[in-house]
Amino acid sequence: MKFFSIIGNSFGCSASGERLVSAARDGDIQEAKALLEYNPRLARYSTFGVRNSPLHYSAAQGHHEVFSSYIFYIVQLFESCGDGDFTCF
């Protein structure tokens, strides 16, 4: 269950988060990468609590490039914490 608290909604990035969801759902890899590069904390964004993230939308639509890119940014965020304290992002 701790994973869901890590991926949970990141307050203050709702508009950008919704853009990321749209990019993930539509398979727009350039938009997804640009948004995640601009604000890596968007990797935590989810809709409807912690039930739907851009990761879920991209996987459901079969957009494997967006899915892989999203996973890459999540891993980068985890690694940036170093000591396992995931509250740093």
Q: Calculate the average pLDDT of the chain.
A: 77
Global pTM value: 0.69
Write down the pLDDT at residue 87. Answer: 60
pLDDT in tens, 24-48: 999 999 999 899 888 888 878 887 6
Domains, the chain: 2-88 (1.25.40)
Q: Which residue blocks in the chain are alpha helix, DSSP H?
A: 2-7, 14-26, 29-38, 54-61, 64-81
Tokens 């990321």 correspond to 20
